[in-house]
Structures are given as C-alpha cells and as structure tokens.
Structure 1
Amino acid sequence: MADVFLSTKQVAEFLDVNEKMVYTLISEKGLPATKITGKWKFPQRLVEKWLEKHIINNPSPRGDVTASGLLVFAGSNDLLLERTFALFNRSHKDYLAVFANVGSMGGINALNKGFCHVAASHLMQEDGSEYNFQFVPEKFGGDPPAVINFAMREQGIVVAKGNPLKIQGIKDLGKSGVRIVNRPLGTGTRLLFDSELKNAGIKPEKLKGYNHECRSHLEVALEIAAGNADAGLAIRPASNLLGMGFIPLRWERFDLLVGRDRFFDKGVQSFLGLLQEPEFRKIAEKLGGYSLDICGKIVYPQPVRRSKE
C-alpha cells in the first residue's frame, strides 16, 4: 500500500493544533516531515507512530521505521543533502527518502529513539576541536552508531551584497544598529554562533534580532536579502545561491549517523553509494562551499591501531 502524505493543514487537524504549532512540533518534537516537494508533507503512517510514542505510559520504548522502501532522515538542514534526496528518489524508484528538519540534536535524539534510519549532524564539541564524537557516547552509550562523513562545508556570516555595513567578523555583529537573524536551539549552527559570541565577549541579549530564528540556512540568506536583517550565520552555498556577501568563519564536518542495526540495510547502502557518483559531486561543485575529500568515509568509531610487536 502506498504511503499517504498529509498537508500542513491536514496534520494540524489530525493533531488538533493550529498550523503554527505544527512547525514547532517538527523543530522541537521530531514530528516526521519532508520538504522535498517544496511544501511540507507528512507521512500519515509515521505521524500516527509519532503520536503513539508521545502517549503517556506507552509501553514501547523504541520507534519503528520498518516500512518497506521508506528511508527516514532527521537532523540538520543542508542544501546538498536536500538535493541528494531528490537525486536518490529519482534514481531509486523502490525507495522514498524523507527528511525531518529538527536540528542536529533533534536528529541524534530521533535516531536514539528509533524514529529514523539516519541522523544528519554537525554538532561542534565544546573545545571546538571535533564534531559529533562527544555526543555519540553520551546519547548511545555502549551501542554507538557509525558516523559517516557527508561533506565538509564552510560556515560563515551572510551579509547583504557588497557588505554595506563593512562587517568583518563576529565582533562587528555587536555594533549598534546591526540586525541579526539566528537559527533555533538544538541546531549545530546555533551552537557554533553561541560559541563564537562567547569567544568574542558578546552577550547574546545585547544583539538585535538574537531571537529572530529561521529554520534553514537558505531562510537566513533570504531574510537578509529581503532587508529584514543585516547578518546571520549560514553555510556558503546559501549565500552563493542568492549572490550575497559572505565572511568565512570555519570549515565544519557534516556527518550522517547510522545505527549498527540499520547500517547494512539495502536502502541505507544505496544512499551511501550515491555519494561516490559523479552526478552527486557535480551538484556539490555547482553549489560551492563544500569539500568531498572524506565524503563517504566512516569517521567514528575510528579503527584501532595495533602496535607492532
């Protein structure tokens, strides 16, 4: 039986909430959703499963994403990842990849609870030296997922074309009159931004627009292009698409996390195999701001090096 997809209005009626609350449930509670078609769509079967898992005293401790042909991703937003879903769905007719944009931490939580097959994450560790590794043992204990690199990508400050306010770095965001746009709590970009502010000695509450949040990198760039903000953290591809200014901050590792029980599933392996295809690499090159040097490599758990006797 084919999966039935609900519109935002329909899922709001099904859950008996207003439509704005639906977006909050996607972001904060892991409501399964996809935006591949340009509009939010909700797999009815997964919404029903999600609702069951939120019933008080529900005896089942773990989710179930066993629908044949359905490949569920959850976590951080990324432009190349979105286009890879479209490429996968075109080239693998027996599968449908869907995505819940719930932020890096939301994706890790969803994977831990069995609500998805793959989590997408770029959570920077407190010391800034690594990504994602610190959070794997914290969430999964003795049964950690495999961490596969999807891409390295460039994070920075998006500004209006020509950089009229002459913003050169994080410290300039604290200047009087500068309006920023932010990302939600639980996203890797928000974690990076808060870390950069702390290092620069800037108190978040002093920034105009700190609580002005956008759900994706592209939405950040669109807000700045529309004149609703002057600057915000996002990846370079979002800036490139709109011809905006960009002040680079750092390259980060954007990873896919897959549970051991799902790693060798045919759908998961088909998706990972796509990362080596020329068409995928052409898409990354066209977007700009990506490096695929370690794309597709397992970066955690790292292999044990045996000492020579």
Structure 2
Amino acid sequence: MDNDLLNAQEVADILKISRNTVYELIKRGELNSSKVGKQVRISRSEVEAYLNGGSSPTMFNTKDFVAGNNPHPKLIKKPSYTHVVDENIRGNEFIICGQDISLDLLANYLSIYVETLQIYRSHLASYNGIYALYQGRVNVATAHLWDGELDEYNISYVRKMMPGISPLIIRIGKRRHGFYVQKGNPKGIVGWSDLKRTDISIVNREKGSGTRVLLDEKLRLMGVIGDYIEGYHHECKSHLAVASIISHGEADIGIGSETGMMNVSGVDFIPLQMECYDLIMRLSDADKQPYKQIMEILTSDAFKMDLQSFGRYDTSETGKIIWK
C-alpha cells in the first residue's frame, strides 16, 4: 500500500543511504515523519515523493539548537515559506536563502554569536533566491550560477537581477560538480558530450537551481536541445534525490556536487567542473549587524575547518569579497 509506514532503516535501504542520513533528512525537513510510540515512521508515499521530486521549500528556526551537540542546527518546519516572503523583512527575523550544508553551519555560528536574532532558513534555489533578495524578502541569498559566455560564476546574474541595488558578493567556497553515474559506470560516460548520445537518460534538477543552469548552459553551448534528452523533464529538488535515482538505475546520468552523493551507495562521481558557491547581500547592509558578523564568520579559521570537514569545500577563497 502507498501509505505503508516505514522505519528509518527501511527508508535507508530504499534510498541506498545510511540510517543516520535518513535522520538528517528528517531534521532538515526534506522528509516528513511521524512518531509511532517512540519510533520514527515515514510513509512510503513520502519516500516516493522525495525520489520523484524532492521536498518543498521550507523555513526553519535555529533557536532550538543546543550549541556543541551537532554541527547542524535542529530545524523546525514552518507551515509555508510564502507566509514569510509575502511581507517585507521586519523585527528580528533574519532569513538565509539557499540549500547547501554550509548554510546550516553559518546559521549555527550566527545563532551563537547573535542570541537575540530569529534566524530562518529558506531552501529557494540560486536564481529564485537572488530574486527574493532583490524584492527584500530575504536578508542574504546564495548562488552557484555559471555564465557560459564569461565562464564565471554569479557576478553577471546578480548584477542583472538586482538593478539599482549595489550587491556585495562573498565567496563561501569552491566544490566539484559533475555527473552521478551508476557504480562502475556501465555506459562509459566521460563528459558533457555524452549528453548527445541517444542511449543516455538523465534525471534533472528544478528550474532556477545552479545545477540546472549549469546543465542548460552546457547544452546551449553544444547546440543541444534539452527537450530531446530522455529524462530532461524529470526534476528533483536535491542532490541526494538525484543520486538516489541513479543508484536505483532509473537514469544513467544525474548532475550535482560531489558532496551531494557521498552517502549514497551504488553511485560513482565524474568530476567535470569546479564551481563557486557565493553569498550575496546588499552593499548598504554590509556595515550593519548581523551582516558584519556573517563576514567575520566566513573569514574565521573555525568556520573554514568545519566547511572542509562537513562539506569538503576548497576554502582557499572562503570569505573573499568577489564583487562590490
């Protein structure tokens, strides 16, 4: 039955991940769960929905996190992101926009240093996050949007999407992006040109995500129309969901970061590009708290060490101002 309740180990077996990763997905709000007695249960339909498209954007409050017990904040799901973004930022609410683990770390550090601040997380992807920042619906956004003409990340998009507003772009770090393929790479996939093959199917990311922009830019430069690729319209909202689909043999290629598939068995990674993940704020906010605190956190040795440990980022440029 579609509504069968599964325990964490059964979900882990289906997704081909560890049981601890299942608990992390629940904490991050990417899987909905319920309690039966003292046991966590997840419906089969919820797991299938995660595989088919990932979770919906959610808002989180870091105030219930006890510093030092976990590198990630304890996250509490809010009813709907639109309940916050339909109004201008007000009071002590501070909204950090993005999907990456580095932002869990940043929110944790910020909640420790600025105890009175109500910190929230939005999981809007790169393109929509910049637009939300332009509209004043979030305080800071993050992005990894590649411009195929300039061969650079984020600057051209931010400048065009925030007319009349001077942005400040700060590097969070660099990470490897590439293909997820089945273990052993049975199709012999080596690079972007393999997307021209007629025997290849893919699983895609949602419109507005940095990964989707990267794929579409690569296809445009190769003169390939995405509609003609099998699976192009099969979209997921997280790297982990994409990797799980590849592990089940339901597609030949998924695109994502190296860290996004590390807990998924049966998947190999083919690195293709070093991408830049950046934080964007309004330049007019840079001298205010907690924006100044964010910049101090990004340049701190402690944050860089955590970023290397949990996200396996290249931190050689972490905290560097890329554009102002």
* TM-score band w.r.t. shorter chain: 0.7 to 0.9
Please state how far the C-alpha of 1:109 moved relative to its aligned partner.
0.7
Q: Residue 66 in 1 paired to residue 90 in 2?
A: yes
What is aligned with 1:116? 138
**Could you say if the C-alpha distance between residues 37 and 219 of structure 1 is closer, same or farther in structure 2, counting changes exceeding 3 Å?**
farther
Q: Residue 282 in 1 paired to residue 305 in 2?
A: yes
What is the CA RMSD across the aligned residues, in angstroms? 3.2
Q: Residue 158 in 1 paired to residue 180 in 2?
A: yes
Question: Runs ≥4 in structure 1, deviation > 6 angstroms?
Answer: 35-40
Q: Residue 147 in 1 paired to residue 172 in 2?
A: no
What is aligned with 2:289? 266
Residue 275 of structure 1 aligns to a residue in which SS? helix
Contact kept in structure 2, 1:152 and 1:253, CA below 8 Å: yes
Please state how far the C-alpha of 1:288 moved relative to its aligned partner.
5.6
Which deviates more from structure 2 when the two are superposed, residues 229-238 or residues 201-210?
201-210
Residue 291 of structure 1 aligns to a residue in which SS? coil
**Could you say if the C-alpha distance between residues 129 and 116 of structure 1 is closer, same or farther in structure 2, counting changes exceeding 3 Å?**
same
- Distance in 2 (CA, whole Å) between partners of 1:231 and 1:88 is 37
TM-score, with length taken from structure 2: 0.71
Q: Residue 167 in 1 paired to residue 200 in 2?
A: no
Q: Which amino acid aligns with 1:34?
A: F
- Distance in 2 (CA, whole Å) between partners of 1:39 and 1:298 is 29
Please state how far the C-alpha of 1:156 moved relative to its aligned partner.
0.7
- Distance in 2 (CA, whole Å) between partners of 1:87 and 1:164 is 43
Residue 120 of structure 2 aligns to a residue in which SS? strand
**Could you say if the C-alpha distance between residues 142 and 205 of structure 1 is closer, same or farther in structure 2, counting changes exceeding 3 Å?**
closer
Which runs of no fewer than 5 residues in structure 2 stay unpaired?
A: 1-28, 33-45, 62-71
Residue 59 of structure 2 aligns to a residue in which SS? coil
**Could you say if the C-alpha distance between residues 198 and 184 of structure 1 is closer, same or farther in structure 2, counting changes exceeding 3 Å?**
same
- The aligned length equals 266
Which deviates more from structure 2 when the two are superposed, residues 165-174 or residues 229-238?
165-174
Q: Which amino acid aligns with 2:91?
A: A
Aligned positions of 1:214-293 closer than 5 A: 214-242=236-264, 244-287=267-310, 289-293=312-316
Contact kept in structure 1, 2:102 and 2:311, CA below 8 Å: no
Q: Which amino acid aligns with 1:42?
A: K
What is aligned with 2:77? 41
- Distance in 2 (CA, whole Å) between partners of 1:145 and 1:269 is 15
Residue 147 of structure 1 aligns to a residue in which SS? strand
Question: What whole-Å deviation, never above 9, does each CA across 1:90-123 have from its counterpart, x for those lacking one?
Answer: 5654334322222211111101110011010122
Identity %: 29
Please state how far the C-alpha of 1:163 moved relative to its aligned partner.
1.8
- Distance in 1 (CA, whole Å) between partners of 2:101 and 2:83 is 28
**Could you say if the C-alpha distance between residues 214 and 39 of structure 1 is closer, same or farther in structure 2, counting changes exceeding 3 Å?**
farther
TM-score, with length taken from structure 1: 0.74
- Distance in 1 (CA, whole Å) between partners of 2:183 and 2:108 is 30
What is aligned with 2:116? 94
- Distance in 2 (CA, whole Å) between partners of 1:286 and 1:179 is 33
Q: Which amino acid aligns with 1:282?
A: M
Residue 166 of structure 1 aligns to a residue in which SS? coil
What is aligned with 1:195? 217
